Structure 1
Amino acid sequence: MSGAPHRCRARGAGLIALFALAFGVAAGAAQAGARDLETARWTKLDRLYYADVRDGSSPRYHLAAYAKRADSLRFTISHDGDRANAPGLFRDDKRVDTREKDKADEWVVDRENGGRRVLRLIRAALEERGAARVVVRMRGFHARAKIVVVIVRAECNVDPPSYPLTCIVEP
């Protein structure tokens, strides 16, 4: 052996460093994904309300969703090849107590931006099939939720004397 100093270098040191870096990035992405899923769990549809009220003092058909921690909401329905969707309007004057500690906010269908068509298709589906399938899409803080709600006419309340149709569906 010669008297020159010998440098020792591990062959896999670069690979180990690269693997550790990739694992750290993947763990950070997984943690961010878990945070999004946790937030999505908190964006919740409490109930959907549909009514056919014939009292003459307000619009005849009503559609509202009661949601918790939602920033925006959209109603969608398809029936016999026709499809309609409309945004929900947040009613900050209507905050409803629920069985839980949180309060649900009322979102009514926007009649000016497609809401009339949504209501017409719900009415047609209930008359023809006895059920209407409404998709509610919500956005919260870093979360999106899609909930399918089925309104079944046989499960709705019809109270005398004017016999208005009132449906409250809890998904």
Structure 2
Amino acid sequence: MLIIFLLIVIIFGIINIFSPQAGWYLTIGWKFKDAEPSDAALFVQRLSGIIGSIIAIIVLISTISSSIHESNWPAKFKERMQPALIAEMHTRDYSYSNDEIARIVELIKQSNITRNGPQDYSFGYNASLEIKFIDGSSETIYVMSGLEIQPWGVDVKYRFENSELSRLIIAKGSIE
């Protein structure tokens, strides 16, 4: 919906750039009978078309690039899931050994990751697993009714469909 709105803004901006008189009639001129715009009014129409189009193009590019980032996230996450790239993996009270990290990584790679809509985690979760990578970044997996992860800086959650992985995290990291 945002993309459609931005395309409409760009179209109106282009109309104002190349035909400021038509833009003036679309915005203000239709209210007056036999009105003619001044040179200053045409300049303002042309300037607003340029500024509006530039802003709309920037927001459009940003929106498209962030949606591409979100759609590629599960594949990138699975690529990063290598025991050699993980510095630490722990729940609230338990740090996993290297063998357990290798098993969890294997289960995550086998999991089917599906996209979930935005949700509110304020009602709580059963357990959480924090994964810290050697590059300093981290991800947190929350165990709720299923196994879910919210990537940093993204409003979308992903669901891991693997009950063994969920049981393994809950066994070591249950909130009591």
Task: Give the TM-score normalised by structure 1.
Answer: 0.39
More relative contact order, 1 or 2 (CA 8 Å, 6+ apart):
1
More strand by share: 1
More helix by share: 2
